[in-house]
Chain A
Amino acid sequence: MVPPVSEVEVARRSYRRSRQRRSTWVAVASTLVFAAVLVVGTVSAPGWQRTQESFLDPGVARRALPLVLEGLWLNLRVLVVAAVCVLALGLVVALLRTLRGPVWAPVRLLMTLYTDVFRGMPLIVLLYIIGFGVPGLRLQGVPTDKVVLGATAIILIYSAYVAEVFRAGIESVHPSQRAAARALGLTHRQTTRLVVLPQAVRNVTPPLLNDLVALQKDVGLISVLGAIDAVRQAQILSATTANFTPYIVAAVLFVLLAVPTARLADWATARARRRQQAGGLL
Chain B
Amino acid sequence: MTDPTPAVEQPVLRVRNLVKSYGDVPVLRGVDLDVDEHRVVTLIGASGSGKSTLLRCVDLLEQVDDGQVWLDGQDVTDPRVDADAVRRRIGVVFQAYNLFPHLSVLDNITLAPRRVHGVDRAEAEERAVALLDRIGLAGRARAYPDQLSGGQAQRTAIVRALAVQPRLLLLDEVTSALDPELVGEVLALVREVAEGGMTILMATHEMGFARSAADVVCFLEGGVLLEQGPPEQVLVDPQHERTRQFLRRVVAAGRL
A contacts, CB < 8 Å to B: 176-177, 179-187, 190, 194-195, 198-199, 202, 275, 278
Contacts and interface: CB of A to CB of B under 8 A. Distances in A.
Contacts of B92: 180, 183-184
B164 interface: yes
B80 interface: no
Contacts of A195: 100
A182 B88 contact: no
Contacts of A184: 87, 92, 111-112, 116, 160-161, 164
A194 B111 contact: yes
A180 to B, nearest CB: 4
Given A185-B84, A185-B87, A180 B100 contact: yes
Contacts of B116: 184-186, 190
Nearest to A176: B98
A180 B94 contact: yes
A179 B91 CA distance: 12
**Which 5 pairs, one residue from A and one from B, show the smallest C-beta to C-beta distance?**
A185-B88, A180-B98, A184-B112, A183-B92, A185-B116
Interface string B75-102: 0000000001101101110101011111
A199 B100 CA distance: 9
B87 A179 contact: no
Most-contacted residue by chain A among B90, B111, B117, B161 (CB, 10 A): B111
Interface residues of B, number: 25
Given A183-B59, A190-B115, A202 B102 contact: yes
B146 interface: yes
B61 interface: yes
A177 B84 contact: no
A185 B89 CA distance: 8
A177 B100 contact: yes
A199 B96 CA distance: 18
B94 A186 contact: no
Nearest to B86: A185
B100 A183 contact: no
Given A176-B98, A183-B94, A186-B115, 11 more contacts: A176-B94, A177-B98, A180-B98, A183-B92, A184-B92, A184-B116, A184-B160, A185-B85, A185-B116, A186-B112, A187-B84
A187 B87 CA distance: 10
